[in-house]
Structures are given as structure tokens and as C-alpha cells.
Amino acid sequence: MKSNRSLMKWVPLRCALCGFVLALLTLGIMTLAPHRAITWICSAGILSAAGYCMGRQVQKLYEEIYTDKLTNIGNRNLFYYQMGGILDALKENRLRDVSLAMIDIDHFKKINDAYGHMIGDRLLSEIANILKKSTRKTDLLIRWGGEEFLVVLPNAALEGARSFMERIRSMIESHQFDWIRMTDVVTISVGITSYKELEKSGLPVGDLADMLLTTADNALYEAKKRRNEVAVHRQR
């Protein structure tokens, strides 16, 4: 599954190409008399430029709606938009499973109090960058709000997601944030759930997004009791 973000990257060029093709269809390059070539070239350039500008506007609108401005990753709008397609893929067996990890930065309020909110924002951005570098192109990375992030992992079973998030937890624990004292170690707590685990309950997985969020949040609650831990939701 390609993310909408990667597809939107090429929208301006695609719109410019559409403008060029429109010029071909409208002006009929193959039948143009030589003296009208300059007219066609100018018209093709204008239509291509107009298409590119329109594409850029579409791209900017998409970014405003679906991007978190602080961390430059997806926001809640993108999560709910993408989860519709993920649920369809699961129903049609185009995906075997999907796991969701909810991440919370431990003691984030203390960091804000000790260093100020600007440093807190910088920490959020740097953790988002670590997550971006660690996740696959097919994964969905979301800033859920405050100091919480979501990672949606298509075709990842519960145990695979747990191992993956354990590596990220360890990576962040050992990462040296240059603007934070060496004695202050930044850690995260993680709660994980999966579609297949929810299926075991026998309940119809109708509103997949909310069910995954609720069970991942429950697992995160358990992880936060001890901090710096990855906990999974298992159906009893």
C-alpha cells in the first residue's frame, strides 16, 4: 500500500503533464502548419504551468488538512482517512493483519517544566524524525496529540509489531538529545494491539479505527505503570 503522502508528492508534475496533453488534444500538434508552431508551444507552456500551479495548490491543501505542523507527520485526519482503506483491504484479504502502536513520551511534563515548551516541541520533532527513519514507507505515522504518537503497521502481526517497537523504544532510550542533560534520559511507553487479536473476541470489527485505538490505549495504560516499556493487548 502506497501512502497518500508519497502519491501527493507527484501531483504538481502530473497536473503539468495533463496541461501538456490537453494542449496536444486541443491544438492537434500533428496537423499544425509550421507557422503556428510558436503558438502551440506558447499554449502548451501556459497550460502546463497552469496545471503545475493547480497541482501545488492541491498539494498545499492536502498538507494543511492531513499534516501536523510541528512534526511534519500525519495528524488525526489522516489516520481516520487511511484507516478506511486499511479496513477495506483487510476485508478483501489484501492485507493479512494490521497492528497499531500507541506511543507516549514518559514524564513529558517534567521535561517541559525543566527546559521550557520550546525544548519540549523540539523533543517532539526529533522523536518524530526517529520514528520516520525507523518505519517503512507503507507504515502510517501519526501525531495523535500532545506527546502521543501512533504507528500503524500493515501486514504486521502482534509479535512482529512488539519486536519492532521494542527496538524503537531501546533506540530512543539510548539516543543522546544534545540539548537535554546527560542525566535526563528520554524514554517512551508503548501499547500495541492488532486486528487478528481483536478478531479472537468474536465481535464484528466494524469501527476498526476506534477498536484498535481503545485496546492500544489500554495496553499503553499498563506500560505507563512501569514506564519505558512495550505492552501488548491480548484477547483473553
Domain-located, residue 176: yes
Do the strands 230-232 and 188-194 form a parallel or antiparallel pair, or are they unpaired?
A: parallel
- Cell for 21? 496533453
pTM score: 0.78
Q: Are residues 54 and 96 in the same domain?
A: no
Q: Are residues 198 and 218 in the same domain?
A: yes
Domain-located, residue 223: yes
pLDDT on residue 24: 57
- At which of 27, 47, 66 does a domain end? 66
Domain-located, residue 53: yes
Three-class SS state of 157: coil
Annotated catalytic sites, by residue?
147
pLDDT on residue 53: 60
Stretches where the chain sits below pLDDT 50 are 1-4, 7, 29-30
- Cell for 229? 516499556
Q: Which residues pair with 142 in a beta bridge?
A: 74, 150
Q: Are residues 22 and 111 in the same domain?
A: no
Q: Are residues 161 and 57 in the same domain?
A: no
Domain-located, residue 56: yes
pLDDT on residue 1: 44
Q: Are residues 152 and 87 in the same domain?
A: yes
- Number of compact structural domains in the chain: 2
pLDDT in tens, 147-178: 999 999 999 999 999 999 999 999 999 999 98
- At which of 21, 42, 66 does a domain end? 66
pLDDT on residue 185: 92
pLDDT on residue 30: 47
CATH number at residue 216: 3.30.70.270
**Residue linked to cell 484498535:** 212
Domain-located, residue 226: yes
**Torsion angles phi and psi, residue 112, rounded to 5:** -60, -45
Q: Are residues 62 and 163 in the same domain?
A: no
pLDDT on residue 52: 58
C-alpha 69/C-alpha 72 separation (Å) is 5
C-alpha 205/C-alpha 89 separation (Å) is 13
Q: Are residues 13 and 83 in the same domain?
A: no
Domain-located, residue 71: no
**Torsion angles phi and psi, residue 189, rounded to 5:** -115, 145
Q: Which domain does 21 fall in, by range?
A: 4-66
- At which of 66, 86, 104 does a domain end? 66
Q: Are residues 126 and 222 in the same domain?
A: yes
